Amino acid sequence: MRVVIALGGNALLKRGEAMTADVQRHNIKIAAEAIAPLVAEHEVVITHGNGPQVGLLALQGAAYKPDEAYPLDVLGAETEGMIGYMLEQELGNLLPFEVPLATLLTMVEVDGTDPGFQNPTKFVGPVYEADEAAKIHQEKGWTFKEDGNKWRRVVPSPVPKRIFEIRPIRWLLDKKTVVICAGGGGIPTMYERGAERKLGGVEAVIDKDLCSELLARELEADLFIMATDAEAVYTGWGTADQKAIFKTPPEDLSAYSFPAGSMGPKVEAACHFAKVTGHSAAIGALADIAAIVRAERGTIIDSSFAKMTWHG
């Protein structure tokens, strides 16, 4: 079975944790321990978030003059290499030596007319108190929005149109390689308007879940998993009536509304994958990945299900 696993940002750096290499490596080791047992029986492709890492690099770059700061597409490429390196190393420490691993820098095409450029929604970087966020807005012109009871920087998040490296990813899978790719939603790129066909980077961050869904679809994956810090998708989250959804057809799940900054994109991506491919998508906790593959934990979305059922 071919499985695409999208690691949420919280799988790599939990909210409020120090953004140090040691903390990230510790979390990546936990992710590797959850994923490694699947490799013996399945083809595995791993994607990951990079919001906190890109935000950190942007803050480091802010120490330079404005015209010397690196753009978001370059920072995205840097984080793909950094996180991929750690994932490869931690998985390699658990898997047999002969199992090949590869991280692929992945460029993704977006449309310059995408409405996401007019309404920045993608959270990047650390959280701030309101007064600190206001000060940074005045100094750097960054846009901030509320994230829970804190504030975070937001940047444009256009819809992914095409994954340029899809053929090399397929070639690696044909050689039984564990592939790490499309990190952070891929590196946002766009063709410049005009007669000359010239590709360039874009000041944006593509939604990881939407890009991972496109990847899973183009790879004809049998199962698309989005691993997060929640055990399942809940109705009535945060209320006395909250219930964890176990199995559901995509149409039933699409009838509910979920937060745009967290579970919303995951549900959208899962439902689209299940509808278009006829295969299963799943959302659940990183620690439950093995059980999710067996359809025992998490929220499983599949068009073959007659109706929505709940855990417990």
Instruction: Give strand pairing partners of 153.
Output: 124, 144
266 catalytic per annotation: yes
Buried b (16+ CB within 10 A) or exposed e, 98-129: ebebbbbbbbbbbeeebebbeebbbbbbbbbe
Question: Which one of the listed residues 51, 76, 208, 247 is annotated catalytic?
Answer: 208
29 catalytic per annotation: no
Question: Which one of the listed residues 27, 76, 122, 183 is annotated catalytic?
Answer: 122
150 catalytic per annotation: no
Distance CA 306, CA 64 (A): 57
Distance CA 154, CA 119 (A): 9
Distance CA 232, CA 312 (A): 12
149 catalytic per annotation: no
Question: Which one of the listed residues 8, 10, 27, 186 is annotated catalytic?
Answer: 10
- Which residues have CB under 8 Å from 212's CB, separation 6+? 4, 6, 47, 182, 185, 224, 226, 269
261 catalytic per annotation: no
**Can you tell me whether residue 244 is helix, strand or coil?**
strand
Distance CA 101, CA 85 (A): 10
* Residues acting as catalytic residues: 9-10, 122, 208, 266
